[in-house]
Structure 1
């Protein structure tokens, strides 16, 4: 059985975000050619990944969820052990 990998479309809202001397990489993506929902992932400087379980209708909604998490818990909350779910 051959599984074909699909290319990802990265939102222009993706990129590094720095606050309080901590930089994380915000990744908002969906499959290329898919008008579906957007996934949200935050990667810290040690390649630890925090992935939201929910998908978002727009890339702006996903970025708002990231901003809300930073406002509530601080950007340092993403410096936890890798592969945590949000």
Structure 2
């Protein structure tokens, strides 16, 4: 079985607040919807279970979650 190519969204970006930064990672494979993942500086990851039809929807969801829940909700412990 061959590995599928990962397609990175042009909307992948960093988000900063309160002196902290996380990566908003939006990607898909050829046969999946858009996947949303937020990764902190300690490489802790928050991954959404549902796929998004459009990459813009994934970005809007990430930004809404970061603003509503706060960036600290997406930062885990350093190992």
SS at match of 2:36: strand
Size of the aligned set, in residue pairs, is: 78
CA distance in 1, matches of 2:77, 2:53: 28
Query: How far is the alpha carbon of 1:70 from its aligned partner?
Result: 1.0
CA distance in 2, matches of 1:46, 1:21: 15
CA distance in 1, matches of 2:33, 2:54: 7
CA distance in 2, matches of 1:11, 1:41: 12
Query: How far is the alpha carbon of 1:74 from its aligned partner?
Result: 0.5
Show structure 1 runs of 5+ residues with no match: none
Query: How far is the alpha carbon of 1:71 from its aligned partner?
Result: 1.7
TM-score, structure 1 length as denominator?
Answer: 0.81
Match of 1:59 in 2: 55
Show structure 2 runs of 5+ residues with no match: none
User: Do the aligned partners of 1:36 and 1:57 also contact (CA within 8 Å) in 2?
Assistant: no
**Large movers: runs of 4+ above 6 Å:** none
CA distance in 1, matches of 2:77, 2:58: 22
